[in-house]
Amino acid sequence: MILSPGTNGLRRLLLLALPAIVAIVCLQAPSPVGARTPLEQAWSRYDGWTLAGFRLEGAPPELAGELRKGLALAGEGRFLRSREYPEFSTRLLREDLARIRLFLAREGWPAAEVEPAAVVPDARKRRFRLILRVDPGPEVRIARIAWEGWPEAMARPDSSESALVKHGERFGDRRLEAARTFLLQHLMDHGYALASVEAAVRPLNARSVAVDFAFDPGDRYDITSVTVKGSSPDLEGVTRRLIGIDPPRRFSRTL
């Protein structure tokens, strides 16, 4: 069984999350010798300090927990013990800011911004608490959905199917990939064994995108015979019954 390659996630992100990607690239670009970025100028004084606490503010509530789990400076929870935080460094801060922007861009907030703040610095003990304040910016929603190449001989899946993306819903990279996979499997379950499905995203404006599905179903296949190998002749009938495929019948991925 052949599955087509997945949706080109990087291409979608470059289209949708251009402001966030540019910001990340700018932060990570090499600086001239002796020059420091604004982030380094503001935060390198805390390199090597102990984090006494961490708080993430302003992130969309439904994503805040998952987002926090992916941040290095958020530390690690320990059973029956206080949370353990890493030693602070500007590098870890820069990487966490990039992670937040990229994560939110993939979930429909490509213009998200993050502002770090140090709370109650204690220079004597070299300790401080860190707050990352998130401004998600406007949501990007799906305004148009186009299908090209769907086989005329087969009805489309019901539009109420939960796996499909819908007009007006917030764009999400994972949601789109789940929809692409569902449509591919739907075709394969109805005889199109070598089908492929691609999904592309086109920005319409700062708040909406168009989603284009391109289908290459190929030929529709029927199973005309089943050959059993490796079984003794006296068990061939039992093996066929266990397989449970009685040709002729339409090919299905789930057989």
Query: Could you tell me the pTM of the whole model?
Result: 0.73
Q: What percent of the chain is modeled with pLDDT above 90?
A: 67
Torsion angle defined by CA atoms of residues 101, 107, 109 and 115, in that order, rounded to the nearest 10 degrees:
-30
Complete domains list, the chain, with CATH: 31-135 (3.10.20.310), 145-216 (3.10.20.310)
The number of beta carbons lying within 10 Å of the beta carbon of residue 6 is 13
Using the predicted structure, report yes or no on whether residue 16 has a pLDDT greater than 70. no
Q: What is the mean pLDDT of residues 226-239?
A: 72
Beta carbons of 141 and 170 less than 8 angstroms apart? yes
6 or 38: which leads in pLDDT: 38
**pLDDT tens digits, residue range 114-170?**
999 999 888 899 999 999 999 999 999 999 999 999 999 999 999 899 999 999 999
Q: What residues contact 209, with CB distance under 8 A and at least 6 apart?
A: 15, 16, 140, 141, 142, 143, 171, 201, 202, 203
Beta carbons of 213 and 49 less than 8 angstroms apart? no
Distance between CA atoms of residues 248 and 2, nearest Å? 21
pLDDT of residue 238: 72
Using the predicted structure, report yes or no on whether residue 86 has a pLDDT greater than 90. yes
The closest alpha carbon to 51, from 99, 120, 100, belongs to 120
Q: What is the mean pLDDT of residues 185-198?
A: 96
